[in-house]
Every structure is written in structure tokens, then in C-alpha cells.
């Protein structure tokens, strides 16, 4: 019977790194009243205004239904706005409000600090290599 050696398994190490990153981000976002998904949604909208619910869900790695519930809450809190009717078709483009941008600025600084801690022991060349290697792993696993 073949077993995975957890001490040398790249998949297991990636999962541990993901878990550590998730925990550290939770720790800095929770006091701001945000979850990682809230933050991801606001960051996506800042970089790509007008994204649809489906696009946001894919970008934040959640279901469309979960994203719809999240967007309703963000809209109720005044962080995003959506038109009552779609300008064309059925897509309701979502945009950040000024309040949403302000909240995102604070959250982004906190998340950036987490990322800086994560890569503190890596020099610039190692960071570049890690980006390339992770991108290559993603490409290999998502190739059809």
C-alpha cells in the first residue's frame, strides 16, 4: 500500500502554508469586522470595478449563492453599490462606495503586513522563484 510521506509531500506543505496564511489573515481582518471573503470581494472590486456576482464568486473561491448573500450584506453596510436594474442583460455590476474604499485601505494594509511576515525570510530572487513555481503548479493542475 502506497502512503504519502507528509514530511516531504508538496501538497501537504502547500496545505499547511495555506492554513497558516488563512489563520494569519483571519487574525488581522476579524478586528476590522471582516472575513477573508469580505476582503477578497472588496479587493477584487477595487481592481476590477463592475464585476458581476459570478465573476466575484470565482475570484473569491465561493459559490454564487454565497457571494450574493455577501454582496447583499456589503450593500446594506454601504460598502458596495449595485444598480436596481441591469444596464444591459441581467448582470448587476457591483462597485465600491467611498466607504468601501476606506475600509479596504485599512484591510489591505493589514493583509500586506501578513504577506510581508510570510516572505520575511525570502530574498527577492526566492520570492520571484516561489511565484513562478506556484504559478506553474496552478497551470499544471488546471490544464485541460
What CATH number is associated with residue 118? 1.10.10.10
Count the Cβ atoms, other than its own, within 10 Å of residue 19: 10
Phi/psi of residue 54, nearest 5 degrees: -65, -45
Hey, which bits of the chain come out as E strands? 80-81, 95-96
pTM of the full structure: 0.86
Torsion of CA 58, 137, 112, 46, to 10 degrees: -30
Does some domain include residue 5?
no
Task: Report pLDDT for 109.
Answer: 98
85 pLDDT above the threshold of 80: no
81: left (phi over 0), alpha (psi -120 to 50) or beta: beta
Whether 20 is covered by a domain: the verdict is yes
The number of domains in the chain is 1
* Residue 15 belongs to a domain: yes
Say yes or no to pLDDT of 114 above 80.
yes
Amino acid at each position: 500500500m502506497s502512503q504519502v510521506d507528509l514530511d516531504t509531500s508538496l501538497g501537504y506543505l502547500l496545505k499547511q502554508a495555506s492554513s497558516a496564511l488563512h489563520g494569519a489573515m483571519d487574525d488581522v481582518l476579524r478586528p476590522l469586522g471582516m472575513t477573508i471573503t469580505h476582503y477578497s470581494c472588496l479587493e477584487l472590486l477595487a481592481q476590477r470595478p463592475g464585476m458581476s456576482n459570478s465573476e466575484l464568486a470565482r475570484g473569491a473561491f465561493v459559490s454564487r449563492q454565497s457571494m450574493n448573500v455577501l454582496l447583499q450584506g456589503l450593500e446594506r453596510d454601504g460598502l458596495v453599490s449595485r444598480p436596481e436594474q441591469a444596464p444591459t442583460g441581467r448582470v448587476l455590476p457591483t462597485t465600491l462606495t467611498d466607504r468601501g474604499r476606506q475600509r479596504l485601505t485599512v484591510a489591505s494594509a493589514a493583509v500586506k503586513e501578513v504577506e510581508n511576515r510570510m516572505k520575511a525570510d525570502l530574498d527577492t530572487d526566492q520570492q520571484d522563484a516561489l511565484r513562478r513555481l506556484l504559478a506553474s503548479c496552478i497551470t499544471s493542475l488546471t490544464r485541460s
